[in-house]
């Protein structure tokens, strides 16, 4: 009879470590809260543009060991016309005399073809002398403006015999040049001038900024051209259509009342865990570093931000 060899193993205590996500809370920002609420009625004693405001509800907005704050979702109503009081001027320069002339387009939402028709209508009324503001009969000859059916490029033509002219930026800004794609100081050839592919948008993005929320941020934001900081998130504008752009698919040519998105990789902002959050200031900047233009008639269209507050 054979002997079976047996093996024994000492009992070992198993050690395990349970991990969990840090405790967090949500701060839900409503731009309507820039007004005081009393008895469910907004006390709009002083109308305030949603492009720069302060929320101070006289109570704590965030309490606890908050160490990080991040914007994780936004809902924004786009109500800024792509042609407005900041960019509705087109200036040309008569090359022989150096005299500048301009037209002004009425504020509104335009597709490329609609804007070309409006520019043509204003040129037909007459170019005005920049210095006098009076229409110059020299520039009342037939003008035309049209867009390419394939690229939506703008072309301006003139039947002024022997006249050379060029497009000029308005007051140091881009004027209508920015959205129509014209290149500054490009001379007309054979009485016409064509631009590049138009953007048709007043701005390509919105920078949402807050000095209060970023006051403990050691790593400061920087931009390649502009010098403001305190950015809590950037909202890029577009129609999210990865296909051909047609006359009717340009973002900015029409209002968009539900521009919303969840931010996959939010910016986490350092916060002092020993300080409670009581007030929030918000500023909205366009791509030129100016406060976002929002017509006063649309100040009642408010936006919303979801802020994630974390204890670690």
Looking at residue 239, its pLDDT comes to 64
Looking at residue 160, its pLDDT comes to 65
51 and 104 housed in the same domain = no
Q: 286: domain range?
A: 24-80+203-310
Residue 8: inside a domain: no
> The pTM is what?
0.85
CA atoms lying within 13 Å on the CB side of residue 245: 17
164 and 241 housed in the same domain = no
CA atoms lying within 13 Å on the CB side of residue 161: 0
Read off the tokens for 256: 């968009």
User: Among 154, 177, 194, which residue terminates a domain?
Assistant: 194
pLDDT tens digits for range 207-234: 999 999 999 988 888 888 888 889 999 9
Residue 222: inside a domain: yes
Phi-psi region of 303 (alpha: psi -120 to 50; beta: other; left: phi over 0): beta
| Band (170; pLDDT cuts 50, 70, 90) | low
Counting Cβ atoms within 10 Å, is residue 90 exposed (0-12), middle (13-18) or buried (19+)?
A: buried
Q: Are strands 231-236 and 205-209 parallel, antiparallel or unpaired?
A: antiparallel
Looking at residue 220, its pLDDT comes to 86
208 and 59 housed in the same domain = yes
Residue 4: inside a domain: no
Residue 276: inside a domain: yes
| Band (191; pLDDT cuts 50, 70, 90) | low
If one counts the domains in the chain, the total is 2
| Band (172; pLDDT cuts 50, 70, 90) | very low
Residue 232: inside a domain: yes
The residue written with tokens 């004027």 in the block is 175
Looking at residue 286, its pLDDT comes to 94
Looking at residue 73, its pLDDT comes to 95
Pairwise CA distance, residues 295 & 105, whole Å: 16
289 and 246 housed in the same domain = yes
Beginning with the edge strand found earlier in the chain, give each strand of the sheet holding 165-168 in spatial order. Answer: 128-129, 100-104, 89-94, 165-168
């Amino acid at each position: 009879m054979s002997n079976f060899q047996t093996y024994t193993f000492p009992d070992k205590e198993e050690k395990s470590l349970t991990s969990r996500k840090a405790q967090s809370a949500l701060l839900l920002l409503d731009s309507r809260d820039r007004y005081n609420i009393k008895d469910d009625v907004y006390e709009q004693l002083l109308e305030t543009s949603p492009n720069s405001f302060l929320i101070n509800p006289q109570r704590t907005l965030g309490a606890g060991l908050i160490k990080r704050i991040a914007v994780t979702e936004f809902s924004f109503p786009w109500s800024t016309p792509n042609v407005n009081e900041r960019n509705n001027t087109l200036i040309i320069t008569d090359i022989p005399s150096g005299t500048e002339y301009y037209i002004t387009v009425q504020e509104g939402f335009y597709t490329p073809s609609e804007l070309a028709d409006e520019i043509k209508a204003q040129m037909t009324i007459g170019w005005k002398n920049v210095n006098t503001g009076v229409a110059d009969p020299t520039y009342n000859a037939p003008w035309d403006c049209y867009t390419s059916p394939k690229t939506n490029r703008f072309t301006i033509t003139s039947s002024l015999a022997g006249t050379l002219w060029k497009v000029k930026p308005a007051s140091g800004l881009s004027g209508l040049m920015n959205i129509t794609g014209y290149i500054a100081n490009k001379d007309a050839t054979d009485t016409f001038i064509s631009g590049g592919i138009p953007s048709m948008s007043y701005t390509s993005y919105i920078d949402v900024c807050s000095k209060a929320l970023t006051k403990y941020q050691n790593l400061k934001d920087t931009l390649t051209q502009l010098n403001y900081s305190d950015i809590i998130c950037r909202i890029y504008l577009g129609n999210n259509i990865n296909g051909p752009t047609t006359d009717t698919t340009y973002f900015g040519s029409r209002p968009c009342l539900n521009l919303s998105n969840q931010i996959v990789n939010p910016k986490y902002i350092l916060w002092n865990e020993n300080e409670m959050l009581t007030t929030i200031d918000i500023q909205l900047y366009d791509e030129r570093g100016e406060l976002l233009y929002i017509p006063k008639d649309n100040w009642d269209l408010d936006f919303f931000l979801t802020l994630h507050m974390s204890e670690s």
